[in-house]
Structure 1
Amino acid sequence: MRLGFPDVVDDVTVRLVASVVLGAGVVALATGWWQMYAVLAADFILRASLGPRASPIARVVLQWVRPAVSAAPRPTPGPPKRFAAAIGAVLTTLAAVAGALHSTGGSATAATVVFAIGAIMVVFPALEAAVGLCVGCVLFAGLMRWGVVPERICLECADITQRTATALSGQRGTPATPVNRL
């Protein structure tokens, strides 16, 4: 298994992974089962730090779900997806810690934090899964425009506006590197 985050990933696979995260987020939010955030946090940490092949969710999607989906691969830059996974890692870790604090001490503030993060962890993956809008990727592009993230990190994604316009018009770009399913 080759670890590390690829420069180019398949957007179809990414959206399928987001669908699984969405399902887990809905279950956690609807049931108050905060331990689900710990499971998601572990997966996001593995994905952000070691790459998608280290993520159990991504591996299941890649091995069993993606082969059943006939859509052609759609290459998209990997670094913004890694950034989005890191945001997911931070948010779900905070939700898991707040959930533990709430369950052990009954803190109303901790319960509010879990609910707020839970709502975010439903909305963000829903946007990615349903319409391909990666909120973390938009933030990544903004950080690049402001000079916080150097352009050399992702030359292909320095201008997310152009990529979004191209995607909406139905045109396809050809990446400089071959698409990696994950």
Structure 2
Amino acid sequence: MLQIGNFPDIVNEYAARSVAGLVLILALATLWTQSVWFNLALLYGFAARVLYGPKFSLFAKVAIHGIVPLFKLGNRPTAGPPKRFAQSIGFLFSLTSLLLLINGQILAFEIGIGILAFFALLESTLGFCAGCFVFGYLMRWGIIPQEICEKCNHLTFKTKD
């Protein structure tokens, strides 16, 4: 597999949920204003997180250094590869919505951003990561090799003890 950037193998679940909350706010602002600039900010954020994890993501920095310590959320380790996969899906949705917006396909843009906002809401409030859910099935079906997430399995067993 082509390795791009340096996405962490383990991430803080509370930081990921905080990022999802920030994505939700920006997605709703993008939907409300139909702003190309807000949509570009969404796209950049997802691209930064897919390629390098929190290193170049403003939302990740705010979550890790601001929200998590401010609200004393602590650290709940979770596997990085499924989160990276979920960020990739967010990247595709934000790219598609940007292209639709630029081409004047407003209803399709609204549907795309609405779906993105809905799944950000699920992750930020309930901790349900739809991309992670799909990632698990792709592993079970053999589409994603087991070695991609060997650390996922170790982490899962470790946190259940």
Q: Is TM (by shorter chain) over 0.5?
A: yes
Q: Is the 8 A contact 2:68 2:74 kept in 1?
A: no
Q: Given that residues 18 and 125 in structure 1 are in contact (C-alpha distance below 8 angstroms), is that contact kept between their aligned partners in structure 2?
A: yes
What's the CA shift for 1:38?
A: 1.3
User: Which residue number corresponds to residue 61 of structure 1?
Assistant: 63
Unaligned ranges ≥5, structure 2: none
- Kindly state the Cα deviation for residue 30 of structure 1 after the two structures are TM-superposed: 2.3
Secondary structure of residue in 2 paired with 1:53:
coil
Q: Which structure has the bigger radius of gyration?
A: 1
Equivalent AA in structure 2 for residue 90 of structure 1: L
Q: Distance in 2 between matches of 1:72 and 1:35?
A: 33
Question: How far off its partner does 1:59 sit?
Answer: 1.1
Counterpart of 2:82 in structure 1 is: 80
Are the counterparts in 1 of residues 98 and 109 from structure 2 also a CA contact under 8 Å?
yes
Give the corresponding residue for 2:134: 139
Provide structure 1 residue ranges, at least 5 long, that are not aligned to the other structure. Answer: 103-109, 175-182
What's the CA shift for 1:15?
A: 0.4
Residue in structure 2 matched with residue 111 of structure 1 by the alignment = 106
Give the match for residue 51 of structure 2.
49
Render the CA deviation track for 1:20-70: whole Å, top value 9, x for unaligned: 000111111123224312111011011101222221211122222221021
Structure-2 separation of matches of 1:78 and 1:155: 11
TM-score, with structure 1 as normaliser: 0.79
2:147 counterpart (142, 147, 152): 152
In the alignment, which residue of structure 1 is the partner of 2:119? 124
The aligned counterpart of 1:9 is 11
* Equivalent pair of 2:80/2:152 in contact (CA under 8 Å): no
1:36 maps to 2:57: no
User: How far, CA to CA, are the matches of 2:38 and 2:74 in structure 1?
Assistant: 32
Mapping for residues 94-109 of structure 1, pairs under 5 Å: 94-102=96-104
Shift of 1:149: 0.3
Q: CA RMSD in A?
A: 1.9
Q: Which runs of 4+ in 1 moved over 6 A?
A: none
Shift of 1:153: 0.4
